[in-house]
Amino acid sequence: MSDAIHPTALVDPRARLGARVSVGAYSVVGAETMLGDDVELGHHVILEGRVEVADRARIGHGCVLGGAPQDLKFKPETVSGVRVGVGTVLREYVTVHRATTPERWTEIGRDCLVMGLAHVAHDCRLGDGVIVINYAGITGHCQIGDRVTVGGLTGMVPFTRVGTGAYIGGMAKVNADVPPYMMVEGQPATVRGVNVVGLRRCGIPAADRTALREAYRLLYRSGLAPKRAVERIREEVPACGPVLELIDFIGGAIRHGICGPPRGGIDEPVADAEGVAD
């Protein structure tokens, strides 16, 4: 046994471990586990069933990956699993449950950060660069786009979709789809503005940021119904990539619809997160 595997760890001999893997004290690595190169498991980690952890990922103390879904319809004999992407970090006591459908996966993308005591439920898909802050609960079948931030203590209903680059404030109650590049907060969560700082950080050009803010004004400050607002966006706003992504996302919001504006509307100027009004 490698010196990097603590003598109290239980590693099934059928598990496949890459180079330079470290396993902490009292951790349990099941037979169907695949660990990439330079993976680090903390103490008291449990990997059960099909679990694939890609290169350079770090799994914090007390995490449980691959556990049975908290779904009364789930059949224990279902063969499914959990995948964690390259460079992703799961902090202490994160739980990630396997999928409910045979041969499917609960997936967390590359370079994500899931903070302590957060939960990712069965059949979820988290994109790349996602940040999930402490105690957030992502329920079953949710789809989280790239570079999304989910605030601490946030909860969302099953089958929620969150678009690329969205920002969800802490303690939000998300019961509708969150459009890409928007900032939401509240109970229920409502759209408060465009995530301009996030757009800048991921290199979206200034012209595209301006177009997205124009689309936001039509969608959330004009008083128009979403369908009519989208028609106006198509007519009046430059058809850049982020705007087209926003339109496509709204068209796919069939189950829950999209988060609306705060009750009573927004009467303050639209500003980015650095406080610069447009």
Catalytic choice (49, 62, 127, 140): 140
Which residue in the block uniquely carries the two structure tokens 């689309």?
A: 215
Catalytic choice (60, 123, 146, 165): 123
**Residue 119: active-site member:** no
- Beta-carbon neighbour count of residue 115 at 10 Å? 19
Encode 63-89: b = buried (16+ Cβ within 10 Å), e = exposed: bbbbbbbebeebeeebebbbbbbbbbb
Structure tokens at 106: 């609960």
**Residue 122: active-site member:** yes
**Residue 123: active-site member:** yes
Q: How far apart are the first and last CA of the chain?
A: 61
Beta strand 143-144 pairing with 28-29: unpaired
Judged by phi (left if over 0) then psi (alpha if -120 to 50, else beta), residue 129 lies in: left
Cis amide bond preceding 261, omega within 30: no
Catalytic choice (44, 61, 97, 122): 122
User: In DSSP terms, which residues pair with 40 in a beta bridge?
Assistant: 22, 58
The residues carrying an active-site annotation are 122-123, 140
